[in-house]
Amino acid sequence: MTDKPTTTPIHAQPKGWSPQTWLDRQSAVELQFRYPDERALESARTRLAQLPPLVTSWEIEKLREHIALAQQGKRFILQGGDCAEMLDQCRSEPIANKLKILLQMSLVLIHGLRMPVTRVGRFAGQYAKPRSSPTETKEIDGQPCTLPSYFGDLVNRIEFSESARIPDPNLMVEGYQHAAMTLNFIRSLLDGGFADLHHPEYWDLSFFNNASVSPQRRAQYENMSRTLADGIAFMQNLGEQRLEDSSRVDFYTSHEGLNLYYEQAQTRTVPRRSGHYDLSTHLPWIGERNRQLDGPHIEFFRGISNPVGVKVGPTMQPDELIQLIDALNPGNIPGKLVLIARMGAAKVADGLPPLLEKVKTEDRHVLWMTDPMHGNGTTTSGGIKTRNFDDILSELETTVDCHDEAETILGGVHFELTGEDVTECVGGGSGITEDDLCKNYVSLCDPRLNYQQSLELAFLLAQKMGVH
Ligand code: PEP
Ligand code: CO
């Protein structure tokens, strides 16, 4: 597979844009939270603007080239991680386990799709969460008490008390520090051979033997893991001992760019390149709730040079999508814009095709990805938020079919997952039921695929999209 970098078109900074112009749009769409202490906000912003960047512009440009290749069907993007990272989860084990599951899934996809895979974590900055309501009301001592909602560890704290819920700008500095620690560990793991295929537990797929999977699925897994093992053995026989020897293990970060004060403070010009880069992450994305054309998020992200993602939900209309694309990528630059469709299993077959058709007819260069998580949330009769593995798989498979039908390219997938053995989503080969959810439910936000469910989904996706 040729993997030549594309030529690098320069993202022209739009006229009238600066890293601050989003501040003028705050009245168009009210920001969900406000910092009451302006002096503390100013000092946190100043501090963040002085601190060194978390990522570099050349890494960002490399990712943009990868995205451009994925748009042409020559590469695939695997994006995944927690719904909300938590500062107190910045510990070696969960980070290493998340990295491991993403590497394993990427190998399954490299093998099944016969193309290189770029891994993008929802890591090192996924600390801010949009909420459906800016406030939350609970009964305290028999009295209703209304406080700001919890917007993630970058903004406020989860405890239901006034002091915890008032947005605290110092948490942006803490978030930055934890992102830096996370990234430092990931970079060291990858440099130190963490992706070494000789790692004894790396290919232990024995859990599939215990899983309550159908005989047909089991046969598929066995067949795939056998051919995968053969492929790895072949590479090793060629003398390419480690994954990074055969295809360098690049790793990129991403997060929802919800808190524009944080994004702005890390946005700067760099020597020998034009434009402004948001150096808090490689690939920021705009959430489904914040993509209003006249809102502050579109204003901020239209001006930066990074590739930018935007979630596309079931209410999106074809004309509106073209307007959004033109706002965020007026130069129609390949690799610049990632559309992450999140329709829900029940709506994708009707909702996605008109959008694919319109973007194709209007010849806009975008990378289509799918997030089969956020349209598939349900709540159990006991009030626990969950997602069903079969709905996730169904959205994924229908999305593949829609792209086949429209002759467009699905260039990546976006999952909420963890490398831990949590019980947050139901279903999958390991047979997690609603009754099991209470066993190890850790997420404070949306339910994530656990280790087995994630790997299983990678196998099933490879099966669906793979070269047969
Ligand atoms: C998310 O990705 O965690 C999220 C909130 O998604 P969306 O904006 O698609 O609802
Ligand atoms: Co989520």
Query: How many angstroms is it from 154 CA to the middle of ligand 1?
Result: 16
Alpha helices in 329-450 (DSSP H): 348-361, 389-406
* Residue 16 domain flag: no
| pLDDT of the residue at 40 | 98
Query: How many angstroms is it from 375 CA to the middle of ligand 2?
Result: 10
Amino acid at 259: N
Select from 149, 291, 315, 342 the residue to mutate for testing ligand 1; criterion: most ligand atoms less than 8 Å from CB: 342
Give the environment of ion ligand 2: residues with CB less than 5 A: 83, 446
* Residue 5 domain flag: no
CA 45 to chain CA centroid, Å, is 25
Helix/strand/coil for 77: strand
Report the nearest-CA residue for atom 10 of ligand 1: 288
* Residue 13 domain flag: no
| pLDDT of the residue at 6 | 47
| pLDDT of the residue at 210 | 56
Give 87: exposed, middle or buried? Use CB within 10 Å, 0-12, 13-18, 19+: middle
Q: Which two tokens stand for residue 376?
A: 């598939």
Query: How many angstroms is it from 165 CA to the middle of ligand 1?
Result: 21
Ligand 1 neighbour 375 (Cβ under 6 A): no
Secondary structure of 29-52 in HEC code, one letter for each residue: CCCCCCCCCHHHHHHHHHHHHHCC
Number of domains in the chain: 1
Alpha helices in 334-376 (DSSP H): 348-361
| pLDDT of the residue at 28 | 45
* Residue 146 domain flag: yes
Return the CATH number at 422. 3.20.20.70
Ligand 1 neighbour 309 (Cβ under 6 A): no
Query: How many angstroms is it from 168 CA to the middle of ligand 2?
Result: 22
Ligand 1 neighbour 257 (Cβ under 6 A): no
Helix/strand/coil for 421: coil
Select from 255, 395, 446 the residue to mutate for testing ligand 1; criterion: most ligand atoms less than 8 Å from CB: 446
Cα Rg of the chain, angstroms: 22
* Residue 3 domain flag: no
Q: How many CB atoms sit inside 10 A of residue 437's CB?
A: 20
Ligand 1 neighbour 255 (Cβ under 6 A): no
Select from 371, 413, 415, 416 the residue to mutate for testing ligand 1; criterion: most ligand atoms less than 8 Å from CB: 371
* Residue 277 domain flag: yes
Query: How many angstroms is it from 371 CA to the middle of ligand 1?
Result: 9
DSSP string of 85-153, one letter each residue: --GGG-SHHHHHHHHHHHHHHHHHHHHHHTS-EEEEES-SS------SSSEEEEEETTEEEEEEPP--T
CB 141 within 8 A of CB 296: no
Mean pLDDT per 10-residue run, the chain (468 residues)? Answer: 49 88 75 91 98 97 97 97 96 93 89 92 97 92 94 97 97 98 94 67 58 71 75 67 57 97 97 95 97 95 98 98 98 98 98 98 98 97 96 98 98 96 92 94 94 92 85
Count the alpha carbons within 13 Å of 240 in the hemisphere toward its beta carbon.
13
Helix/strand/coil for 287: coil
Domain that residue 381 falls in: 21-465
* Residue 443 domain flag: yes
Query: How many angstroms is it from 297 CA to the middle of ligand 2?
Result: 18
* Residue 1 domain flag: no
